[in-house]
Structure 1
Amino acid sequence: MVSELQGPVWQMTRFNALRRHLFDIRSGEHLRAWAMFSYLLFVLFAYYIVKPVSRAMFLTKFDIDKLPSLYILIAIFGGALAYLYSKLAAKTSLRNAVLWAMSLSVASLVVMWWFIRMRLPFMIYVLNIWVSLFSVVSVSQGWLVASNLFDTREAKRLYPLLGMGMVMGAAFGGEFTNRTAQLVGTENLLLASAFMVVLAYISFRLAIWRVAAPVVHARAAGETDTDFSFSELIRDIVRVRHLQIIVGMMVVMYLVDTLVEYQFQATARMDYTGDRLTAFFGQFYGIYLNGVEFLFQLFVTSLVVRWFGVGGTLQIAPIAVALSSIATVAAPGVTSASAVRLAEASTRYTLNKTGMELLYMPLPLELRNRIKAFIDICVDRLSRGVGGVLLVVLTTTSLNLGVKGIAIVVIGLCIPWMLLSYMARKEYVASVRRRLSSRRLDLQTTRVSVTDTATIRMLESAARSDNPRQAVYALELLADTDAYDMRPMLKDLSGSPLPEIRDKVYLVAARRRLDDLLETAMYEIRAAQAAGGAARAAVVYALALAPDRARLAEELLEDSNPLLVDAALEGIRSDRELAETLISKEWLDRMAAEEDPRKRALAAVAIGVRGDQGTEALHRLLQDADTTVAAAACRAAGILHNRSYLFAVVQALGNPRLRGDAITALAAFGPYITGVLAGFVWDEGMPLRVRRHIPRVLKRIPDQQSVDALLGLLKHPDLSVRAAVLKALNHIRLAAPELRFDSVFVTEQILGEARYYFELNAALAPFLEYRDGRRAASRLLARSIEQRLRESLERLFRLLGLRYPPREIYSAYLAVSRSHSGDSAAALEFLDSILERDLKRILLPLLDAPEHLLERGRELFGVEVKGAEEAIRDLIGCRDPWLVACAMAAAAELHLRNLATDIARAAAEAAEEVSEVARSAEAVLAA
């Protein structure tokens, strides 16, 4: 029975995978997606009735040499109407704009049908101008509605489906025209087109039925821009490079379209006329052109967009047109001209249309709404008008190129079209990256430039203020001004009652080698000796500039005040020869044996100042029970770089109170200990609380040896260690981007982490029902797995940060983890644009389609969903102690007695905490 069911189940799985591969419509999207599909289908159905009708009427009534003048008239009147439309669209909601456009379209078709029946020649010009505007207004409105109903990620999945609706509508409209033109007459088809417009409006209302707010509130401009002018629109294009590339591509594209359309219609008129010409145009558009478009949209467009991105998708059209035009050059005629028209129009309405719409998506919504309709309509008309002028020059002047010569011009225009397509890809990625970057605020410290008298007077006043922070900052700025005489200011402030200001005064005086304050400093030192106070800055200053500094240092080293001894050690730190003379082995042994921990700490500091020659005291001080002493010893070991202290300092990582000093000390050893540190991480005899902090040391050593050591640690079985390793690698990647991170190895780790994510998700599936239930252990297991999934996702992004721009990857992680639809969509779009194909194929479904994770895990890695018992068995055998313990508790709660052996086996090798849970579980299962 099971084997009988496996075949249909496998076939259904494959069918679902194929359906998702072609059109990935998800829960909550069906009504919007299919209604917009229908809207575009009916609009294109109506258009491909009136298009062959209007053009056949014109070519039957007038000579072919009038066709360029028609293109120019369409540009003039269409451009003016487009501008008026943009003005009106900015002052009304998108919903009302669609209503008025559809209503006027139906009324216009009926009125023109009536006048054409009266045989008025000028109405054929009017019809052609109206048809050119109708297609652009209706279709651009549809895409504008779609861009307000779908975010970037939804658009990338669903736009190919909407494009297929356009292809099907065009195919049905063209074939309908072919079959009915000679039956009912060319002019009567205008009424059928009006009926299709009505159906399109009904589809629009269904699309916004439950999500009308974005379309009701959307404008072609914001409230402050509702009275925009033509010059403002031009400024938008001049200001935004992304729009410049879009406009450039559209200009070249429509120039090519105009020339290709002319040579196609010129050759068609030689063989057909009247209703036969209408039928031929309908057949060409309905069967040949849209049959190819349908196949492209169904099988090619989605795959091309996914594999090659926006730039690669946009480059196919100019290449196809250039190659097919070679046939027209070789053998001009209706067949070759039809082939060029087929290549140009099929790629323009499928690959190129989808790619161009995606180009708009990274733009801010307000800018997109304000400019999109104008570009689609006005640039289209103007480009075709330029094409008309170009045709006049090419066909009616002394050039008189003919069809063959026009084909050569088409090939020449395809070259800048290809170049602009390449530029579009780079700008698309840059725009998405800028959107991500705009979500971050990067604050940098700014220093004041002290150059004028007024500024100096202001700083002098601030330095004498009662605000110590402000006074210290003002002194620092004045000290950085070489031409400023600091002596009077320092002498005045040396008597300040505020210790922060006095300390800064002595620091500046020492740096400038000014001995004017020696008397004041000695007075402060004597006062500290008498009262047991601190005078650290004064001591350091005096030991730097006093004539009898050696005698003073010797006196202070024997002082009973530990604060003054510490200051004296700091004062002679830079003079190793003097330190070795004054700090004897006897002095060190005496201080190291003191009961006062402050004095033992001073012994450690002194060893760091004079060196450890002739003494073993630092080994004892590193093991001192007082953390103040041990911390000072760690710092001294870091200064000395003696590897004999290495093990003791590494052990200090396990003590939270010593950890910071131990990390600083170990990092001071430099790159030559990275291999030893990596070995400690792998050492099972070293406590885990120590090993998991070693990556924090390595990240403080921005060297290639650290990177290599950390990359090797990515295979460590402990998740907490791996997380620390990744954080360290990310830190080094930012601090030293010039270092090499093995991309092949990192990619392997990304794929391994992705597999682990899919396995965890499959393990979670049987326990979702317990997530909010009453079974405490099962609920805890489900929530623990969810937490591990979040941690795995963070590790995935940290790994990506080693291969791709780390700051942008971090921003993408924040957006994805917060699940804000707009930010998340932009982040996924960014990842889609930069990830390599193999990574994109695995990671994007993981991030973008959580409802299909189980299926994707099965398809990509063969990860099967198991029952609760098998899932718990796998978790008991994993190397995550917490999940092992949770799984054991859940097994006991669910009375899964078959797992008793697995629990006993795992307990024999587990830590005490896990063994205790195992004993409790075994007792429950044995009852």
Structure 2
Amino acid sequence: MSLRHNARADERTGLTLATLAFFFVMAGYYMIRPVRDQLGGAVGSQSLPLFYAVTFAVMMLLTPVFGWLVARFSRRRLLAWSYSFFIACLLAFVPAFVAQDRIGARILGVVFYVWVSVFNLFVVSLFWSFMADIFESRQARRVFPLIALGGMGGALFGPLLTRYLVYALGVAPLLAVSAATLALALLLLLSLSARDEQAGEGHAAQPIGGSLWAGVRELWSRPFLRYMAVLMLLGDGIGTLAYALMADYAKAHFVDRVARTAFYNDLDLVTNLLGVVLQLSLTRWVLVRFGAGWGLVLPALVNVGLLMLVAVFGTGDLRILGALVPMLALVLVATRGFAYGMTKPAVDTLYTRVPRETRYKGKNFVETAVWRFGDVLVTSGVSLLAWAGVGVGGLGLIGVGVATASAWVARLAGRAPDLAKD
């Protein structure tokens, strides 16, 4: 029998491998995030629509490619090829970042933003599709918060290591260290896949099959995926608004790439600390006691409160524990912390209740192409509203409405009629 039906003793072995793998995935990812974000901080929010538009176009082109790979290759081969490709890419980017000043932050930013988004499709999102294939729904509610907690551990380790290395070595060598962590994650995932295949689950070693456009088609045919797409757009509206405003703040306050990288790294560190606190204190209890749907609703309600603060107080500094903290930093940390610490494990738990093809193709289409479309929409909208004279308070009020709608859609998603019984 596979991990989806094994006793808890065997489940713990799979959980350990998955948790360690996600630790290394997120440690590597959070080493390249501040490298990416310092490029946005170098050019400001006016260049973000270009970054996101190119990213969205590339993701639309790659969606059928991903569908073709999933349809024809087993998940073991898909994992091995995908992760190995991105390890090679990370090493290839090292000389480009050594020459960042000659290449220019705008050109390198477009390329690297696109690459990190593709990384998200073939590495981070593929990881969770694999987890939804390994564990059944009831197991997922127990183990996904723990796997996510391992990832949050990596998301703390990555920024802590980056904080030291960026000053000692500079920006470019961080990519080589990230490649090493990704290689460790791949070894663990291949071991986990081999265990599941040996346990006798017939579909585990087989390609998923189906159409290469299945992810797009299922978006229109499955109510659950439609809710997920709308929820992604609404949630992205809040997060991208804060991110765009923070890019302008970083451009105004930090003049060199090391300082910008360190600043964004510290934001990630505090964000991930919040995510860990949520995982240890609230998330698992909410998912087990009330179901995954409430794991989507609660973060949306938190966003309503945060954006009301922005609407009232603007972007001024707040004094927290004796230190002045920009309001935007507080909003960015809190929205991301709840997204990573509660929303993400809740979403991935719900995906255990849909067919395999939906877990891989539909899920990845929503979490990449739809997500990046939202980035283009929001950053362009922010630029247009700023041109029209709408201030931060007005943007905050708009955000309150978006967050309220997000809470309503989240509740519907948890009750979608096409979800299998829990």
TM over 0.5: yes
RMSD after superposition: 2.1
| Aligned amino acid, residue 46 of structure 2 | D
Where does residue 284 of structure 1 map in the other structure? Answer: 267
Q: 1:413 to 1:104 in 2, by over 3 A?
A: same
2:178 to 183, 193, 197: 193
The yes-or-no answer on 1:258 pairing with 2:237 is no
Structure 1 equivalent of residue 103 of structure 2: 120
Q: Is 1:272 aligned to 2:254, yes or no? A: yes
**2:341 matches 1:358:** no
CA deviation vs aligned residue, 1:537-581 (integer Å, no higher than 9, x gap) = xxxxxxxxxxxxxxxxxxxxxxxxxxxxxxxxxxxxxxxxxxxxx
Match status 1:85 vs 2:73: no
What does 1:289-368 correspond to in 2, within 5 Å? 289-329=271-311, 330-333=313-316, 335-368=326-359
Q: Which of 354, 376, 389 matches 2:380?
A: 389
CA distance in 1, matches of 2:189, 2:233: 30
1:687-702 correspondence runs (5 A): none
Once the two structures are TM-superposed, the CA of residue 192 in structure 1 deviates from its matched residue by: 1.1
Whole-Å separation in 2 of the counterparts to 1:249 and 1:64:
24
Task: Sort the Cα spacing of 1:312 and 1:276 in 2 relative to 1 into closer, same or farther, 3 A.
Answer: same
Q: Please give the per-residue CA displacement for 1:752-775, whole angstroms capped at 9, x wherever unaligned.
A: xxxxxxxxxxxxxxxxxxxxxxxx
State how far apart, in whole Å, the 2-side matches of 1:418 and 1:205 are: 37
Give the drift of 1:344.
0.8
Instruction: Give the equivalent residue in structure 2 for 1:99.
Output: 80
Partner of 2:54: 73
Question: 1:804-862 CA distances to partner (integer Å, 9 max, x unpaired)?
Answer: xxxxxxxxxxxxxxxxxxxxxx5xx2xxxxxxxxxxxxxxxxxxxxxxxxxxxxxxxxx
> Displacement, 1:251?
1.7
Paired residue total: 399
Within the candidate set 193, 197, 212, 1:228 is matched to 212
Asked which structure has the greater CA Rg, the reply is 1
Quick one: which amino acid aligns to residue 231 of structure 2? M
Q: Quote the offset at 1:85 in angstroms.
A: 2.0
Q: Which residue of 2 is the match for residue 217 of structure 1? A: 205
Does the 8 Å contact 1:46/1:194 carry over to 2? yes
In 2, Cα distance between equivalents of 1:218 and 1:295: 38
> For residues 360-400 of structure 1, what are the alpha-carbon distances to aligned partners after superposition, in whole Å with 9 as ceiling and x for unaligned?
222233443442222222222222222232233223x3x14
Give 1:341's aligned amino acid. L
TM-score (norm 2): 0.88
Alpha-carbon distance, 1:348 to partner? 0.7
User: What residue is the counterpart of 1:668 in the other structure?
Assistant: none
**Alpha-carbon distance between aligned partners in 2 of 1:366 and 1:251, rounded to the nearest angstrom:** 22
- 1:176–1:282: 8 Å Cα contact kept in structure 2? no
Instruction: Kindly state the Cα deviation for residue 216 of structure 1 after the two structures are TM-superposed.
Output: 4.7
Equivalents in 1 of 2:365, 2:348: separation in Å? 14
Report the residue type matching 1:280 in the other structure. F
Residue 404 of structure 1 deviates from its aligned partner by: 3.5
- Equivalences for 1:440-455 in 2 at 5 Å? none
Tell whether 2:28 aligns with 1:46.
yes
What is residue 422 of structure 1 aligned with on the other side? 411
Does 2:148 correspond to 1:163? yes
Query: What percent of counterpart residues are identical?
Result: 22
Q: Which letter maps to 1:285? A: D
- Take 1:315 and 1:134, find their aligned partners in 2: how far apart are those partners? 28
| TM-superposition CA deviations, 1:724-749 (whole Å, max 9, x none) | xxxxxxxxxxxxxxxxxxxxxxxxxx
| Whole-Å separation in 2 of the counterparts to 1:30 and 1:233 | 32
Q: 1:128/1:319 Cα in 2 relative to 1: closer, same or farther (>3 Å)?
A: same
Q: CA offset at residue 414 of structure 1?
A: 0.8
**Gaps spanning 5+ residues in structure 2: where?**
1-6, 317-324
Greater helix content:
2
Whether the 8 Å contact between 2:275 and 2:342 is mirrored in structure 1 is no
Q: Please state whether the residue corresponding to 2:72 is helix, strand or coil.
A: coil
Q: CA deviation at 1:349?
A: 0.8
Structure 1 unaligned runs (5+)? 1-24, 436-825, 830-927
Letter in 2 for 1:39: A
1:652 maps to: none
Q: Give the conservation status (yes or no) of the 8 Å contact 2:117–2:368.
A: no
Deviation of 1:402 (Å): 4.4
Task: Check whether the contact 1:93–1:217 (CA below 8 A) recurs between aligned residues.
Answer: yes
Secondary structure of the structure 2 residue equivalent to 1:209: helix
Higher relative contact order (CA 8 A, sep 6+): 2
Q: 1:269 to 1:253 in 2, by over 3 A?
A: same
Q: For the Cα contact (< 8 Å) 1:36–1:142, is it kept in 2?
A: no
Counterpart for residue 32 of structure 1? 14
- One-letter amino acid matched to 1:101: S
Distance in 2 between residues matched to 1:376 and 1:71, nearest whole Å? 14
Change (3 A) 1:69 1:294: same
Match of 1:55, SS?
A: helix
Residue-by-residue CA offset, 1:397-438 (whole Å, 9 max, x unaligned)? 3x14344433222212112101101212322xx445xx5xxx
Compared CA separation, residues 63 and 344, structure 1 to 2 (3 A): closer
TM-score by length of 1: 0.41
Given that 1:106 and 1:194 are in contact with CA atoms closer than 8 Å, whether structure 2 keeps it comes out as yes
Distance 1:51 1:101 in 2: 19
For 1:142, the equivalent position in structure 2 comes to 127
Q: Distance in 2 between matches of 1:345 and 1:295?
A: 13
Q: How does 1:529-568 map to 2 (within 5 A)?
A: none
Residue number in structure 2 paired with 1:237 = 219
Q: Which residue identity lines up with residue 343 of structure 2 in the other structure?
A: N
Cα 1:302–1:331 change in 2 (3 A) is: same
Over 3 Å counting, the alpha-carbon distance change for 1:366 and 1:73 in structure 2 is closer
Do the aligned residues in 2 keep the contact of 1:137 with 1:377 (CA within 8 Å)? no
Give the 3-state SS of the residue equivalent to 2:65 in structure 1: helix
